[in-house]
């Protein structure tokens, strides 16, 4: 059996529920869970680089930050569709936040982020997704204390606590994408295969190859890329829905949530 985890990043209070509905209805109707990496308290003026607004803000900048509970319509939509599973994605999602802040501030953001998700009515997430795939050594230490799963793009020796190095070398020697340290599972992924920057013609085939070559595949995408600056990218949505069809039709594939991985004790390799 192969396992696939769908991870959609950057849900926040300004995410229109209609966008999630349009993208994920084919997954939800087929009983496939969708993990929404949710920003607990988004900075509504977050910039990707100086003067360039984060894509997930859909072109609108307003000063300040907004907790996820600020949008009751979105919360109601998510609660009434239990196929959506909420995992924690940063705190403000300002640039490199889990790389550049001191340990105390990282701990505060992690704890308050979880509190905000719980106040919004979600279960305390067991999975953390790092914005920008940037995690400092101190951030790793704080994450391992709180989360059963860390999902990121890749792992680099010089960002990991030295005590983790032997396990990391072993993972490298075995050419494994995922690894485990104590009770924390560290999941990599094969890149954002569902991205508006990739060729649509080969997209589903590339996904198929990735899924067939691993026991557990984390498929990453971003809802706002399908609606970038207010333009609905129909060909891209079609590819996402083709992916849903492929995943549902192959009997050797089970689409699971991050939480299922822990609950069912699914092996990483
Ligand atoms: Zn993000």
Task: Give me ligand 1 centre to Cα 56, in Å.
Answer: 8
Task: Give me ligand 1 centre to Cα 182, in Å.
Answer: 26
Examine the pLDDT at 5 and tell me if it is beyond 90.
Answer: yes
Residue with tokens 């988004």: 42
Task: Give me ligand 1 centre to Cα 79, in Å.
Answer: 22
- Structure confidence at residue 38 (pLDDT): 98
Cα–Cα distance for residue pair 212/215, rounded to 1 Å: 8
The total number of residues written for the chain in this structure: 269
- Structure confidence at residue 195 (pLDDT): 98
Looking at every residue in the chain, the average pLDDT score rounds to 96
Cα–Cα distance for residue pair 37/52, rounded to 1 Å: 22
Task: Give me ligand 1 centre to Cα 132, in Å.
Answer: 6
Examine the pLDDT at 3 and tell me if it is beyond 90.
Answer: yes
User: Which candidate, 229, 230, 228, 218, places its Cα nearest to that of 194?
Assistant: 218
Whole-prediction pTM value?
0.97
Tokens (6 digits) for 151: 């999902």
Task: Give me ligand 1 centre to Cα 25, in Å.
Answer: 22
Q: What is the pLDDT of residues 6-39, one digit of tens each?
A: 999 999 999 999 999 999 999 999 999 999 999 9
- Structure confidence at residue 202 (pLDDT): 98
Task: Give me ligand 1 centre to Cα 39, in Å.
Answer: 8
pLDDT band at 49 (very low <50, low <70, confident <90, very high): confident
- Structure confidence at residue 229 (pLDDT): 85
Task: Give me ligand 1 centre to Cα 93, in Å.
Answer: 7
- Structure confidence at residue 221 (pLDDT): 98
- Structure confidence at residue 23 (pLDDT): 98
Task: Give me ligand 1 centre to Cα 251, in Å.
Answer: 31
Provide the b/e sequence for 18-54 (b: ≥16 CB within 10 Å).
Answer: ebbebbbebbbeeebbbbbbbbbbbbbebeeeeeebb
- Structure confidence at residue 169 (pLDDT): 97
In the chain, where are the structural domains located?
A: 2-263
Q: Which fold has domain 2-263?
A: 7-stranded beta/alpha barrel (3.20.110)
Distances (CA, A) of 141 to 176, 188, 249: 21, 17, 40
Q: What is the pLDDT of residues 127-182, one digit of tens each?
A: 999 899 999 999 999 999 999 999 999 999 999 999 999 999 999 999 999 999 99
Q: What is the pLDDT of residues 216-255, one digit of tens each?
A: 999 999 999 999 988 999 999 999 999 999 999 999 999 9
- Structure confidence at residue 50 (pLDDT): 86
Task: Give me ligand 1 centre to Cα 41, in Å.
Answer: 12
Task: Give me ligand 1 centre to Cα 252, in Å.
Answer: 30
Task: Give me ligand 1 centre to Cα 221, in Å.
Answer: 10
């Amino acid at each position: 059996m192969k396992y696939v985890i769908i991870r959609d990043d950057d849900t926040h209070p300004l995410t229109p529920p209609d966008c999630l509905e349009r993208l994920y209805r084919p997954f939800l109707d087929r009983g496939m869970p969708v993990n929404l990496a949710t920003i607990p308290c988004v900075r509504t003026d977050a910039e990707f680089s100086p003067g360039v607004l984060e894509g997930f803000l859909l072109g609108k900048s307003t000063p300040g930050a907004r907790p996820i509970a600020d949008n009751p319509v979105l919360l109601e939509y998510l609660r009434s569709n239990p196929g959506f599973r909420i995992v924690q994605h940063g705190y403000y999602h300002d640039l490199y936040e889990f790389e550049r802040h001191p340990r105390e501030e990282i701990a505060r953001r992690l704890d308050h982020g979880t509190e905000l998700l719980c106040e919004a009515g979600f279960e305390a997430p067991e999975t953390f997704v790092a914005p920008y795939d940037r995690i400092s050594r101190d951030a790793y230490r704080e994450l391992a204390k709180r989360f059963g799963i860390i999902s990121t793009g890749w792992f680099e020796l010089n960002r990991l606590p030295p005590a983790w190095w032997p396990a990391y070398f072993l993972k490298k020697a075995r050419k494994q994408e995922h690894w485990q340290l104590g009770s924390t599972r560290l999941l990599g992924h094969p890149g954002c295969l569902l991205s508006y920057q990739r060729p649509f013609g080969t997209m589903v085939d590339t996904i198929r190859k990735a899924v067939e070559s691993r026991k557990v595949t984390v498929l990453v995408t971003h809802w706002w890329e399908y609606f970038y600056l207010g333009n609905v990218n129909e060909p891209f949505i079609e590819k996402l829905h083709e992916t849903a069809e492929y995943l549902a039709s192959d009997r050797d594939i089970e689409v699971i949530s991050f939480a299922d991985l822990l609950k069912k004790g699914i092996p990483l390799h």
